[in-house]
Structure 1
Amino acid sequence: MSIHIDPRSLRKRKNREAQFKALSYMAISVAGIFLVIFFADIVRQGYTAFQQTEIAVEVTYTQEIYDNPRSAIDEKIAPLVSRGVTRILPMHLRENPHLMGKTEKLWVLANAEVDQHVKGKANRLKPREVSQVDEMRAAGKIRKAFNTGFFTNGDSKLPEMAGILSAAVGTLYLLAITFAFSFPAGVMAAIYLEEFAPDNRLMNIVEVNINNLAAIPSILFGLLGLAIFINFMGFPRSSALVGGLTLALMTLPVIIIATRAAIRAIPDSIREGALALGATHWQVVWDHILPLSLPGILTGTIIGLARAIGETAPLLIIGMVAYIQDMPRGVTSAATVLPAQIYVWSSESLRAFTERTSAGIIVLLVVLLSMNAVAILLRNKYERKW
């Protein structure tokens, strides 16, 4: 018996397949183009923040410096220098009293408008100041240097003095607390649900709710953290402790789901072999299932923590979006995090904060991409084919 295939029908199916492939390639290309444009724009606006303009000045240390710090600098150059520098000079003299009556040459930070002009960006310098800056630059009295202050300073109302140190330390505290609470609880909950929980209606309801919690908007976890940890338990508002516990609640369902998937991937033959040799159910889980599923568990945990680091909405609710100049001294101190710091800078009216915002995004993207890369490396290195 022969089967007749209509050539026209076959041609139509092949044409539809070709059209579907073309649409798929087009969608991937459009997504890739937008991604490239996004990264290129962020880098274009932010890379200049990693350099900062400095001015060579001669500082004369006299008693008058305590009442009028600008008197220590030439009055023609003083308006071009950052106000943060003039605030530091009296403190510097108190710490080094032997400088009284002496004059020394220093490279100090220029103000934000001078910095923007040197970088070729829009600024509010007057024509006379523009000419002065250009002359000093031609004479070698103005230079661009690596902006160490961006990594060693906390937040500041002066763009040229603003840095990410306090936000970076707050992020580390937050990450440590989130991991410490979400990882053990998530892994233990997943082991119980997958290995020990009875198959009944209650467990089915719990599983459905876990899956739902992993998908709800993150801002709802902020409301939950506000209600439980601040209003009910009385923990300090804006602290890393509250932020970490709130993000731990948000990360917990992700870790549970990833852990259960990793445990499910272990063949039943391993369980049966261990039980046949006389091991208890708990010994099978502890000595065999958990070690073999650990790479998958860690991969899911890292991805969950990476998501938590990038969150801002829950932290807005619990007050972690604030002006924090000094880095937190403990988990109960007022703190902020990188996403919140970026949000604060983006709302500032001064143009110089735009490059700080983009530079902060670059740092955050590097951290997130690094964490995802570690997760991929762990998966590829320790993944087993059963």
Structure 2
Amino acid sequence: MTDQSRNALERLAANKHERLNARLKSRYNRERRFRAYGIASIALGLTFLAILLTTIFSQGLSAFWTTYVKLDVTYTPEVLYIDDATDESQLRLADYDGVIRQALSERFPEASGRQTMRNLTGMVSTSAGYRLRNRLMENPDLLGETETLWFLADDDVDLLMNGIIDRNLPESERRVNDQELEWIDSLVSSDQIERRFNTTFFTNGDSRDPETAGILGAAMGSFYTLIVTLALSFPIGVAAAIYLEEFAPKNRLTEIIEVNINNLAAVPSIVFGLLGLAVFINFFGLPRSAPIVGGLVLTLMTLPTIIISARASIKAVPPSIREAAMGLGASKMQVTLHHVLPLALPGMLTGTIIGMAQALGETAPLLMIGMVAFIVDIPGGFTDPATVLPVQVYLWSDSPERAFIAKTSAAIMVLLAFLAVMNLLAVFLRKKFERRW
């Protein structure tokens, strides 16, 4: 080989090596860019999640604390218009708001005029009169006596104490005027106003007044609705999965059923609400805004999820388990119930819990069946009018009262806590009972 040929081959090899290095460098650069894009996407998602949670928590924490005002109230018969303490109708219809006005007038004797007295009385929640009525009906001997009680403050006073209303703004831009600021400062200086943990948020139902509104009614509605959903969806879903996976013949009919189950898992939830409205309410005549109807609708929505997860759990059981059981003389039913089902049950429970968590957060299908109604009373059964936590959040978010902003965020925090607990339970069950074959 001549020197010229050798040099040509060396140049060719060098060029080839350079091209190879260039391609490798380009590939490594693409991999680094892809990795950077992935990290940036995760960081962006976590940033938005942090912003969302920070906003919810910063707005909702104040709802877990509320303001109380201490007053010396006298159950004056002339003010209450009661002449017979044994007459229950008189006790029920007495002017308890007049007693509150009297207590406030004694505390602030300088207040005069109709508008001034209206502003003064408005510092205390409208629930104060109902509390006095309950106390006097429980103990009629209080008539004519004086006692010191703590009453819920009005929502505007609570917003001021929370710092949400800026007292440094001009009076025309505040919901609390200068005169009310003086009264509040006087109560603060005499230790007649204080902040307490808001137990009413967890023990009351819904209310038009933000300071007395609570989530117990919605929480009980969610509880009854999920009980119906679990009682129907779990056994039906597991039975359907067992039949399709273990007993159903492999033909065109079962293929159509399997395809439809997979498609139903992707159907928008509001479609199930329309189905529930047409079938359960209009056709069967079940009561609107009742947990039993909500549970039936959510059962239809969660069944595909439970069936798919249950079938995946059954498929994960090794065929050797079935073959060993049948080799020892077990029937097909015994193999399924005594061997396959116990081994697949942890995965089934995990899928069921995830489906129930999805049902807990649903709003659209329940709006279609009337569970958006304003319900004050706590539901006591599956047929009582009720709402659920997601719908309660929707109702409060649409309220014009500023204090409901904190209530909305606090209800979201409670809902997120329930969802987190259910998902953690699913993870725990999967880790504890999962078997690797």
Q: Distance in 2 between matches of 1:7 and 1:161?
A: 72
Q: Distance in 1 between matches of 2:98 and 2:274?
A: 51
1:44 aligns with 2:70: no
Give the match for residue 146 of structure 2.
103
1:91 aligns with 2:114: no
Question: Match of 1:86, SS?
Answer: helix
Give the match for residue 322 of structure 1.
373
Counterpart of 2:132, as a letter, is L
1:74 aligns with 2:125: no
Cα-to-partner distance string for 1:337-372 (whole Å, 9 max, x where unaligned): 111111111111000111000000000000000000
Q: What does residue range 326-337 of structure 1 map to in structure 2 within 5 Å?
A: 326-337=377-388
Give the match for residue 285 of structure 1.
336
Cα-to-partner distance string for 1:172-193 (whole Å, 9 max, x where unaligned): 1001000000000000000011
Give the match for residue 114 of structure 2.
none
Q: What does residue range 220-259 of structure 1 map to in structure 2 within 5 Å?
A: 220-259=271-310
Between stretches 130-139 and 111-120, larger displacement belongs to 130-139
Query: Once the two structures are aligned, what percentage of the paired residues are identical?
Result: 53
1:178 aligns with 2:229: yes
Question: Match of 1:82, SS?
Answer: coil
Q: Distance in 2 between matches of 1:187 and 1:304?
A: 13
Cα-to-partner distance string for 1:78-108 (whole Å, 9 max, x where unaligned): 3311011123312321221011111101111
Q: What are structure 2's unaligned runs of at least 5 residues? A: 1-12, 81-92, 109-119, 166-173
1:209 aligns with 2:260: yes
Q: Distance in 2 between matches of 1:203 and 1:175?
A: 30
Question: Match of 2:26, SS?
Answer: helix
Q: Distance in 2 between matches of 1:206 and 1:71?
A: 68
Give the match for residue 199 of structure 1.
250
Question: Match of 2:421, SS?
Answer: helix
Between stretches 75-84 and 89-98, larger displacement belongs to 75-84
Q: What does residue range 359-370 of structure 1 map to in structure 2 within 5 Å?
A: 359-370=410-421
Q: In terms of Rg, which structure is larger? A: 2
Question: Match of 2:122, SS?
Answer: helix
Give the match for residue 29 of structure 2.
15
Give the match for residue 131 of structure 1.
182
Of 43, 52, 56 in structure 2, the residue corresponding to residue 29 of structure 1 is: 43
Q: TM-score, normalised by structure 1?
A: 0.97
Q: What are structure 1's unaligned runs of at least 5 residues? A: none
Q: Distance in 1 between matches of 2:122 and 2:264?
A: 55
Counterpart of 2:161, as a letter, is V
In the TM superposition, what is the alpha-carbon distance from 1:296 to its structure 2 partner? Answer: 0.4
Q: Distance in 2 between matches of 1:38 and 1:294?
A: 36
Q: Distance in 1 between matches of 2:332 and 2:399?
A: 59
Question: Match of 2:148, SS?
Answer: strand
Q: Distance in 2 between matches of 1:335 and 1:195?
A: 40
Give the match for residue 300 of structure 1.
351
RMSD: 1.4
Q: Distance in 2 between matches of 1:59 and 1:320?
A: 40
Q: Distance in 2 between matches of 1:139 and 1:62?
A: 25
Question: Match of 2:383, SS?
Answer: coil
Counterpart of 2:380, as a letter, is R
Between stretches 76-85 and 35-44, larger displacement belongs to 76-85
Question: Match of 2:104, SS?
Answer: coil
Q: Distance in 2 between matches of 1:307 and 1:36?
A: 22
Counterpart of 2:149, as a letter, is L
Counterpart of 2:283, as a letter, is F
Of 355, 361, 368 in structure 1, the residue corresponding to residue 406 of structure 2 is: 355
Give the match for residue 147 of structure 1.
198
The count of corresponding residues between Structure 1 and Structure 2 is: 385
Give the match for residue 76 of structure 2.
62
Cα-to-partner distance string for 1:6-55 (whole Å, 9 max, x where unaligned): 11111111111111110000000000111111111000000100000000
In the TM superposition, what is the alpha-carbon distance from 1:135 to its structure 2 partner? Answer: 2.3
Question: Match of 2:151, SS?
Answer: strand
